[in-house]
Amino acid sequence: MSLERIKFVQSKFGSLFQKSDLTIFLNPDAPSYCLSFAFERLVAYQTFYPVVDQLETAGIKCVQNIPEQKFDLAIVTIPKSKKLARHFIYLATKAVPKGLIVIDGDKTSGVESVIRDLKKKVKIDTVVSKAHGKTTWFKTPINLDEYKDIPSRIGGGFETQAGVFSSDEIDPASKLLGDIISSGLSGTGADLGGGWGYLTARALETKDIRELHFIEADLRALTLAKSNVNDERVKFCWGNALQWEAPKPLDFIIMNPPFHYMGRALPRLGADFIKVASRNLKKSGSLLMVANRHLPYEDIIKGHFRSFSELSGSKKFKVICAENPIKL
């Protein structure tokens, strides 16, 4: 989203935005995007914990469920997933019974496609192109129930939903690791950035695991994981894996660490996950992780573990076991 674009729309079409409007902002990426609105009349809908933390620190109220029939104005920042974008627009129409829905997005998010589709459903008079993106708006009431996204099931009977990692099928890298961790693990462990729960489900195929902490930043994915993993041994945590501290040192950690943040490539994120694993393991503990083969995680592993080896792999992926963390 572009603050520059929103400010331009407000200055050019100021009558559309009233300071007295009670506003719901769906999917703001950072507090800076909310600066054009009165915080005391603003509520942000965001389910990604690190961003929620930033917004609330800045004094912006956040919700993870949107009250219906309450707001005068909705701002929707378009995510890259078109299905999720449509769902956010649907939520906005339910939140604003009679008012304005503003759609904004960068071209890289696919906003042009979303607007083209939306023009078939609602009356749109103006589209503003500025700062490598587009903004448009339409009035409610309008019925866009067909935009609602509901969870669906993929292979293995797992429940997923638009916008979460590997929503259409089991991630092939995770499957490589899953085939290894389905036996041999024991004691207490954690799944860092567990998504909708595939790795945890595979790990719990063994009865030797006493407890498994599941940490996930996206509340939508965490909710799916609770449906996919019905096991009393799991302790679910909605939070930032990079800040998480285990109650006591762990026997093992499993993970398929992300290397994107809010849709942007961030390779050092995986390295930070490795550091977190090292910090939370026993001196005899093990990290089992999978990663794209081109990502040079071996160098960071050498600095935080006494030994490591590649257990399995393919042309695209590698499964690494790192043991005996170095306590810095």
What is the model's pLDDT at position 222? 98
Domain count, the chain: 2
In this structure, the number of other CB atoms found within 10 A of the CB of residue 231 comes to: 13
Spatial neighbors of 268 by CB under 8 A, at least 6 apart, are none
Residue 103 sits in the same domain as residue 213: no
Report strand pairing: 100-106 vs 127-130: unpaired
Q: Does residue 237 sit in helix, strand or coil?
A: strand
What is the model's pLDDT at position 177? 97
> Which of 85, 114, 147 is the last residue in one of the domains?
147
What is the model's pLDDT at position 156? 94
Averages of pLDDT over each 10 residues, the chain, 328 residues: 78 74 93 86 96 96 91 94 96 95 93 96 94 94 96 96 95 97 96 98 97 98 97 98 97 92 76 97 98 94 97 95 92
> Which of 118, 147, 176 is the last residue in one of the domains?
147
What is the model's pLDDT at position 9? 84
What is the model's pLDDT at position 1? 57
Report, in this order, helix, strand and coil percent for the chain, each rounded to 5: 35, 30, 35
End-to-end CA distance of the chain: give it in Å, rounded: 40
What is the model's pLDDT at position 327? 82
DSSP, res 111: H
Q: Are 300 and 163 in contact (CB under 8 A)?
A: no
CA distance 14 to 277: 50
Residue 161 sits in the same domain as residue 134: no
Provide the domain limits for residue 59: 3-147
| Nearest Cα residue to 185 out of 128, 241, 254 | 254
Residue 131 sits in the same domain as residue 9: yes
What is the model's pLDDT at position 6? 81
CA distance 167 to 196: 9
Strands laid side by side in the 305-313 sheet: 234-238, 209-216, 187-192, 250-255, 281-292, 317-325, 305-313
Q: Check which CATH number belongs to the domain holding 286 and give it.
A: 3.40.50.150
Residue 165 sits in the same domain as residue 311: yes
pTM: 0.94
> Which of 93, 115, 147 is the last residue in one of the domains?
147
Residue 124 sits in the same domain as residue 168: no
Residue 184 sits in the same domain as residue 240: yes
Residue 163 sits in the same domain as residue 125: no
Residue 314 sits in the same domain as residue 201: yes
Residue 306 sits in the same domain as residue 237: yes
What is the model's pLDDT at position 262? 66
Residue 15 sits in the same domain as residue 107: yes
Residue 26 sits in the same domain as residue 95: yes
What is the model's pLDDT at position 117? 96
Residue 54 sits in the same domain as residue 135: yes
